[in-house]
Chain A
Amino acid sequence: MSTVMNKNLTQEIIESFSADTYTEANDLRKQAIGYLETLGLPTNKSEEYRFTPITKHLEKNFKWENKNPQSSINSIDDYLIPELDANILVFINGSFSQKFSKIISPKDQLSIKTLAEAFQSESTTISSYFDKVGRSQNDPFAAMNSAFWQEGVCINIPDKTIVEKPIFLLHINDTTLSQVIAHTRLLLIIGQQSEASIIEKFETTGGEASFHTFIEEILVSESASLNYYKIQNDKGAVCQVTNSAIQQLSGSKVSAFTLTLNGQLIRNNFSITIDGEHCESHFNGLYLLKGKTLVDNHTVVDHKKPNSQSNELYKGIMDGNSKGVFNGKIFVRPHAQKTNAFQSNRNILICDDATINTKPQLEIWADDVKCSHGCTTGQLDEEALFYLQSRGISKQSAQAMLLYAFAADVVATIPHGSIKNYFDLLISERLQKNF
């Protein structure tokens, strides 16, 4: 793919969106367009997108002058998580759906506003936090989102507040009538000593192409705690780039879990900045792929302050022609002494045509730290398989048992019953563990 073509596509995208009129964040949008122009869309030579041909995919599948269709979805029941009692925020084709959204937590536990509203009534929050920890300057798709975002939510949780009901963010792209391009955002501020759980779920229906960028900026204040779950189970041919930037202040705790099962081309840029002492970050990823799905998880944990620990475990099972990409960066800055940082990426390839590219990247400037990383790629253990079969268990069930054992151990750590069950259900279904 030539650089000239990329330039053209970048320009084409910029021009198609510039025709829209935006009412908020016009200066930031202009700035972001500048970043996008400078960065350009990635080519196969771009180090960060070497294995993930998003630009090519965009070129081939989208008409940028088209507007998103109206969705005719009249129920979201199929997309809900069974028995999960949650605050539900729904986006359809990039627009916030008042009709399907539902807030059940009391007002003193949290404030939820659309970004459009927040720009009107919460200018302090916006000016302090909006587009501050995102990565618009570094990532062309983050820049694209910052330039052209359609809608988003701003969630503010005051200090010393335990939000009992999880916040469920549901993105649906309905491509029944035509292609959909959606750019959405989340700004989540968790006050000191507060606790919250967020679940993000992405769905596409219909047969046409969909392209979705999502930026989330999350601040976890002093001694606050966040449980975070992302479920990417798009049945349609979605191309998606998510940029997650979580910032942790002293004594805070984050547990994150990203489960990816379906979609065409998925790129997750997931970064945690540890900007305080005595923080804990656990982040798990599980990608169980088949068909032609490509999933690229780029993670960053940046230890800026001493005495914190991070623990990263990403696991993948690749079947069919699927491709997995994992890149895990750990930075330990000069002041961040006594950091404990662990990273592990483990993969099983079921099929000869499936591939994984995995790369750990550790940059450690402090000297008194404990860091380790490891990655393994293998097949199913033949001896274990035989043992199970020798007891009368079919090969298919034996395989499912072993894959499930490999995949599901991280699920056991999920504290919410209904979320745990749902993860378990999705994983069992994918691995055909039906016994």
Chain B
Amino acid sequence: MLEIKNLQARIEEKEILKGINLTVNAGEVHAIMGPNGSGKSTLASVLSGREEYEVTGGEVTFLGKDLLALDPEVRAREGIFMAFQYPVEIPGVNTINFMKTALNQIRVHRGQQPLDAVSFLGLMKEKMKLVEIEQSLLSRSLNEGFSGGEKKRNEIFQMAMLEPKLAILDETDSGLDIDALRIVANGVNKLRSKNNATIVVTHYQRLLDYIVPDFVHVLYKGRIVKSGTKDLALELEAKGYDWIKNEVAVA
């Protein structure tokens, strides 16, 4: 589904991604872990099309298409969804209207009829249950004045609405208490299928108790320096990142 080859990117003259290789197939869950500042969010942003990051080398294919050549909205319509580490507050943009516009533009792109108000509200009700989000929250301006947990839940709600093929969750667990974490993880699990894939970015093992990954990768200084199964996450939890840093230093 997604194939990243030797991807390099920088921001303001600073090299951040220094040759990432990663293959994600339909049905898989990949976890990307790594210390702060190693480039995890940068990778997520580059995949979703943030222009601030300049791709200086490598290529990314998504469902056979050159992903890097697509505008951010086209990537989303083709099936990429990123849950932001820090969702933006957008005063004056009503969450429900925003979601309806997004969903319908995606549907048109996919050759489907836009949903009318009634069907949209029906779908919304269904997805709201999945992530246990209140309608009162969605009637407000997008993320404005939302608590950290509410913002994260709103991200997963949007994901549920848009039904992406590849979801990239950037530190969706940070700032969540254990109940919220369970709700969010539950939402993600219910949306998993053999046709879609998930990349979970986190630096705690905690989330991976709930969203069990098929593969775990460690990103460090802009490179994937180690890959393994979910046992790698447990090892990192027990030993911290220093042994990985040492391994890299030795190599």
Contact = CB atoms under 8 A, between A and B. Distances in A.
B84 A394 contact: no
A390 B82 contact: yes
Contact of A408 (B71, B92, B104): B92
Contact of A389 (B49, B81, B87): B49
Interface residues of A, number: 24
Contacts of B81: 390-391
A73 interface: no
A387 B77 contact: no
A83 interface: no
Interface of B: 48-52, 71-73, 75-77, 81-82, 84, 87-88, 90-93, 98-99, 101-106, 109, 141, 158, 162
Contacts of A435: 101, 104
A405 B142 CA distance: 11
A389 B76 contact: yes
18 contacts: A381-B88, A382-B52, A384-B90, A386-B50, A386-B51, A387-B88, A388-B90, A388-B93, A389-B49, A389-B72, A390-B81, A392-B162, A397-B105, A404-B92, A405-B91, A405-B92, A405-B93, A409-B92
Interface of A: 381-384, 386-395, 397-398, 401-402, 404-406, 408-409, 435
User: What are the 4 closest A-B residue pairs judged by CB atoms, nearest first?
Assistant: A405-B92, A392-B76, A391-B102, A392-B106
Contacts of A402: 90, 92-93
A383 B88 contact: yes
A242 to B, nearest CB: 29
Nearest to A400: B101
B88 A391 contact: no
Given A390-B72, A393-B102, A405-B92, 14 more contacts: A388-B102, A390-B81, A391-B81, A391-B99, A391-B102, A391-B162, A392-B76, A393-B101, A397-B101, A401-B93, A401-B98, A402-B92, A405-B93, A435-B104
Contacts of B101: 393, 397, 401, 435
A397 B52 CA distance: 21
A389 B84 contact: no
Contacts of A409: 92
Chain A's interface: helix, strand, loop or mixed, by majority?
A: helix
B92 A390 contact: no
B92 A391 contact: no
Contacts of A408: 92
Contacts of B49: 386, 389-390
A208 B77 CA distance: 48
A117 B87 CA distance: 63
A381 B142 CA distance: 14
A217 B232 CA distance: 79
Contacts of A394: 73, 105
Contacts of A393: 73, 98, 101-102, 105
Contacts of A404: 92
Contacts of A382: 52
A17 B33 CA distance: 82
Contacts of A406: 92
B93 A389 contact: no
Contact of B98 (A381, A386, A391): A391
Give the most central of B71, B77, B101: most A CB within 10 Å.
B101
A392 B71 contact: no
Contact of B84 (A387, A395, A398, A401): A387
Contacts of B52: 382
A382 B45 CA distance: 14
A404 to B, nearest CB: 8
A388 B98 contact: yes
Contacts of B141: 405
Nearest to A387: B88
B119 to A, nearest CB: 16
B105 A392 contact: yes
A405 B82 CA distance: 24
A390 B88 CA distance: 12
Nearest to B86: A383
Give the most central of B98, B104, B106: most A CB within 10 Å.
B98
B48 A390 contact: yes
B90 A390 contact: no
B71 A405 contact: no
A110 B88 CA distance: 52
Contacts of A391: 73, 76, 81, 98-99, 102, 158, 162
B90 A405 contact: yes
Contacts of B162: 391-392
A218 B11 CA distance: 58
Contact of A392 (B91, B93, B109): B109
A435 B108 CA distance: 13
